[in-house]
A and B are shown apart, each in its own frame.
Chain A
Amino acid sequence: MADGTLGDPGTRPPLGSWPRLYALVCAAAVLVMAILWWFTAHFNVRMGS
């Protein structure tokens, strides 16, 4: 399928390639979730427990 990105230097993917950018998005999402998990484990006390 036409991607429309080939041969157009103005629309090159950030970080040089799309897979690298996708990996960064996933890694950032996992990092945010890990921080939230720590946040919960450290501070939260479930109601009634």
Chain B
Amino acid sequence: MRLVDWIVFFAFLAYVVWDGVRRRAGAKDLEGYYAGGRSIPWWAAGLSIMATQASAITVIGTTGQGHEGGLEFVQSYFGLPFAMVLLSIFLVPYYRSRNVLTPYELLEERFGPASRSLTSLVFLCSRCLALGIVIYAPAVALSAILGIGTTTAVLLIGVLTTGYTLVGGVSAVIWTDVKQMSVILIGLVIVFGMLLWDLLPQFSFGKMLELAGAADKLGALELTPAHESLWPRSHADIERHIGEPSFWEEKYNVWSGLFGGLFLHLSYFGCDNSQAQRLLTGKDAAQSKKSLLMSAFAKVPMQGFVLLIGVLMWLFYATHGQPMLFKPDHQVAAEKAELAPRVAALQIEFDAAWAERKASMEQLAALDGLPAEHPEQVARFQRAVRAVADVRARARKTVAPDTPNPKDTNDIFCRWILDEMPPVLLGLIIAAIFAAAMSSIDSVLNALSAATVVDFYRRWLRPACSEREALRAGKVVTLLWGATATFTALFFAGGGSIIERINEVGSWFYGSLLGIFVMALFVRRAGDLAGALGLCGGMAAVLLVHNTWKVEFLWYNVVGLVGVLLVGGVTALFVPRRSPG
């Protein structure tokens, strides 16, 4: 990085920290610290909702997903707009019917203290795990760019974000999110523009889409599943090579996106306090609904746009040449004396495969009509695409033999910006990655602090504490959660796609969290025992399915919800809710 990039980068970081800290005036009591004094405008809360979801993962991980798997990942967001509508109809009026600081407070009124505490605890545990991953993502970028260790990078991000969140509370979180989201969007548009600028002299935009489509990178909505069997295979069957892959093993298709995604987003935006807290910051329910519906309109197109950037990046590398290994750790390992001969042999194989891919792509580009009209040329091109991917996979395995499935999905974007971005813009893009990271981390920190103080400290430990004492406890707890999350991040320094891991961790719990709120709204007979047992039943159902069958994680949300409703419903039959009187 050049000096000017450092200046842009640090100027942005300093601005964000200052902007967050100056909001401390509004954080004089718990209402101000956790609900922004109920005075946040809907558009700011809406941008904050989007910024919280669009973490560094969206910038680094999703472009990497686009490079590796094309547009298929966008399908996992298809349920989001419908989830926002359902939340606006059912959950927002429920939340805004009382002046609560966490949605879990309502569960005590509806079920009892056990259900409230257990649900809040599930939120705390699941979010703490996921937050570790969210901090780790930009740390990868920082360590690659600055040449520092991942540990140092994790500490830098964790300390800065914890600092302004601790001082300014949710107002700092939301108003910094607004600026961070703006920088993220500007950064993504710049990268998209630069890729087009480079590729347009060689291919028309239509030809780019045709070539990417011929490489199976534009499968944005496949109605026909690749596997038609509806019977899930057990892990034992897979080990013994019995049976065919089932529909449930497909990571992304329109059905898992619509149904699994619907429940994932219902739970994430409605029951996960890091997002649901936004619904409590506006002056009324109408403000909360508008902020949710803003995301409903923007999210799917935005996600498609980010994935398209990854696809164009793939085309860029297919045209100009690319490294066989993107991950810096892999590149360092490849230089070790004992591995060098094998890596050199793989490099020769990779160069030949890449040259063949380029030749077959140019042949395809020269033909008139759609690629599908030239099956022989497409078959040659796809063989070459697979060959390049195959050599890359073997190279990764060679340099990281101890990692089960070594990937470099999260390093592709970083490599590209380092090699291709001009001065100033590079600093801005790095700032965008940081903005994305901070905007997610700060929201979760404040939400974790709110749940800890409101649902545990003030509920169980110090019920008679003053507002001032509770606020002081909130700040201490924010600091403790910041430290815990930072150290958790150090344990996630593995491979794999970060965005998938975030959603996977969430999906273990989200269906169950949603289930208890569905029971609160629609199962009038359910009492505290039914709520608590139902929540445990939902998580047990996910654990059972996870350990028995091969089912992709988006479906875990449905499994958890059904588990809660079954166990909670049966419990309510035998132990109905006591009447308030």
Contact = CB atoms under 8 A, between A and B. Distances in A.
Interface of A: 1-5, 8, 11-14, 18, 21-22, 25-26, 28-29, 32-33, 36-37, 39-40, 42-48
Contacts of B557: none
A5 B284 contact: yes
Nearest to B293: A25
B287 A11 contact: yes
B286 A29 contact: no
A21 to B, nearest CB: 7
B300 A18 contact: no
Given A4-B284, A44-B219, A45-B372, A28 B297 contact: yes
Contacts of B287: 11
B293 A36 contact: no
Contact of B285 (A3, A25, A47): A3
B284 A36 contact: no
Most B Cβ at <10 Å: residue of A25, A26, A39, A43: A43
A14 B93 CA distance: 17
Contact of A14 (B70, B210, B290): B290
Contacts of A46: 216, 219, 222, 226
Contacts of A2: 93, 96-97, 285
Given A3-B285, A40-B222, A43-B370, A25 B296 contact: yes
Most B Cβ at <10 Å: residue of A2, A11, A44, A47: A44
A45 B214 contact: yes
A13 B286 contact: yes
Contacts of B100: none
Given A11-B287, A40-B221, A46-B216, A25 B84 contact: yes
Given A4-B284, A5-B286, A43-B370, A18 B212 contact: no
A18 B222 CA distance: 32
A5 B82 contact: no
Contacts of A18: 88-89, 289
Interface of B: 70-71, 74, 78, 81-82, 84-85, 88-89, 93-94, 96-97, 209-210, 212-223, 226, 254, 283-287, 289-290, 293, 296-297, 300-301, 304, 370-372, 378, 382, 385-386
Nearest to B222: A40
Contact of A43 (B85, B213, B289): B213
A3 B96 CA distance: 7
A21 B297 CA distance: 11
B40 to A, nearest CB: 13
Given A26-B85, A47-B386, 15 more contacts: A3-B285, A3-B286, A5-B284, A22-B85, A25-B84, A28-B296, A29-B300, A40-B219, A40-B222, A43-B210, A43-B212, A44-B216, A45-B213, A46-B216, A47-B216
Contacts of A36: 71, 74, 220-221, 304
Nearest to A11: B286
B93 A3 contact: yes
Contacts of B372: 45
Contacts of A32: 300-301, 304
Given A4-B96, A22-B85, A32-B301, A44 B286 contact: no
A13 B84 CA distance: 15
Contacts of B385: 47
Given A40-B218, A46-B219, A21 B382 contact: no
Contact of A48 (B74, B296, B382): B382
Given A11-B283, A22-B85, A25-B296, A37 B223 contact: yes
Contacts of B254: 33
A9 B210 CA distance: 51
